[in-house]
Each structure stands twice: as structure tokens, then as C-alpha cells.
Amino acid sequence: MTENNDRFELATFAGGCFWCMVKPFDEMPGIEKVVSGYTGGQKENPTYEEVKSDTTGHREAVQITFDPAIFPYEKLLKLYWQQIDPTDPGGQFYDRGESYKTAIYYHNEAQKEMAEASKKDLEESGKFQKPIATDIFPASAFYEAEDYHQGYYKKNPLHYNQFHKGSGRKDFIESNWKAEKDEKDLRERLTEMQYNVTQKNGTEPAFNNEFWNNEKEGIYVDVVSGEPLFSSTDQYDAGCGWPSFTKPIRKAQVEEKEDLSHGMIRTEVRSKDGDSHLGHVFPDGPGPKGIRYCINSAALRFIPKEDLEKEGLSEYKQLFE
């Protein structure tokens, strides 16, 4: 079982194939580690083949060691729901059977109450027409999976991406968990420039935008969805007249797509949840990876580091400590 100390707590989630359940949590602030393994069954130290045969009672799961002061359990639950089809009682996507069923395994009464409340909220939200099938169980012995399963998305990115897409999980998440756009709402709360950039793939004028020379400390979120995207700690002056960054806060929070518009071959950057056009990424940046994210100010909202807690984003304060 995973060791813990006074600072960290454990969270355990079953969400189908554990390959796909590591990446969403792995890059989040306050997450110490994410381990793939087996739990809920009767056999000690089971192998992958034994668990997959549905003879052990175990389910594939991930166990997360996290700092609740930075990333609270409620946010883990919210992120967990957004990785699964919670209405499927027989497995997840391509993977069928007991070992691929979903479950939240609580480690204390507080986690139990929060898990039950979040499940009830999802049921009452009307988001899904079918009943929520995810189980809530007390945590039991957790057995780490074989080494080749750990961090699979990093070790085998090509196969991971093919499986994530081919299994049906990627399309389900995009169809059911992406922020829904209300055209009337967007027109009312966005400026003409913000709307043109984020919704029509526009580009604002260089050197005549809000953040191209910003020197304050804080993070940038999608002006449409509010999802955290970039940090001032990774911002630099590229001399191009737009905010430039060496990397996003989390690579998983942005999507890159081929852009053949205007007679050029470029790589467009979009926000994952809000599906907002942000800008482009170029191979001419500083640092060992040589990447430059050239982003429109109009696609961003800046939150100073002193306002992060007030905005419900206290987990990102550690970027500036």
C-alpha cells in the first residue's frame, strides 16, 4: 500500500483502464504521485492477467497522493467525474467486465460524505438521462500494478493516444464534459475582439493588446471557460508583440491542431474545455525544448497571484513560492 504522511492524503478511483486515469491528475498542482493498481478484491498481490480475468474481485484503479491544502478532495472528485462515463454499469468504453467498472473508494468519513454529495449533485444535474452507476466503497488494500503500466501515457504516448481515442473515451469526454457554449451569453460578456479571437480564430494587433508586456505575477485563464492555461513564471518577451510562454501550466489543458489558413502551415493552440482559439505554437522559443506559445491577450484573463485564493484557484499559489 502507498505510504502517507501528515501533509498528504490518499484518494482512490476506479475509472476503467488505469492507463487513461493517470494523466488527468498527474500534472495538477498538489498531486505528489499517481499510481496504477488493483483494489476492491480478495486476492493478495494479483497480476494484471488475473485481474483482467474477473476472478479476483479487483478493479483497475489509480491511487493519488495529494496535498488537500493545495488541491482539495472536492476538486479531485470533479476531475474524476470528467474522465468517465458514470452511467455505464458494465465497464468503461471498450473495456468490459467487473475489473473495469467505476468506483470511488473513500479513505475516511469526510471523503465518503463528499463522494456521496458529488454523486447526488451529478444525478440531480440532469446532465445524463441514465442513472449514475458509479459505486462508492470504503478503501481496502491497494496493490500496485506491474511497472510497465505505471505512467503509461509517458512511456508509450503513441499507443496511449491511439487507445484513448480508439476506446471511445476521448470522444465521450469531448461530447459530454466540454463547457457548453451559449452564443447569446458569449456575445453579451465578451468584447468584440475577445469574441473574434476565441470564436472566429482571429488575431489581435501586435504590441496593442493587454498582456504582451505584462510583468505582474499571476496566471492566465481562458476568458471564456476560466480554465487555467499559462503562468507568468513561463512568460517572456519574444519581441513579437503578443504574450509568449515557454509552456502551458498543464500540457493536457491545451490542444494543438494543424492550421493551414492564410497560405501557411502552423500549429494552432486551443483550450481543451472551452474550445477557445488561443494562438499558435512555434519551434523558435528559448529553453531546451525550443517552444514558443504565442497567445492572444484577448483569449486570456489575468489573475494576480494575490487574488488566486479569492478566485478559487489557491492550488496555483505554489507556482510563486
* CA 130/CA 128 separation, integer angstroms: 6
C-alpha distances in Å from residue 222, one per residue of 48, 96, 197, 251, 292: 40, 36, 12, 14, 18
Q: Residue 106: how many CB atoms within 10 A of its CB? A: 21
Backbone angles phi, psi at 302, to 5 degrees: -95, 135
CA of 308: how far to CAs of 110, 301, 304, in Å? 25, 12, 7
Active-site positions read 17, 294
Alpha-carbon distance of 217 to 215, in angstroms, equals 7
Residue among 106, 42, 101 nearest 77 (CA): 106
Q: Tell me how far apart the terminal alpha carbons of the chain are, to the nearest angstrom.
A: 31
Q: Which three cell numbers stand for residue 230?
A: 499559462
Task: State the residue for C-alpha cell 491577450.
Answer: 297
Closest CA to 290 of 239, 218, 233, 238: 238
Which residues fall within 8 angstroms of residue 105, CB to CB, at 6 or more apart? 12, 13, 14, 39, 40, 61, 137, 138, 139, 140
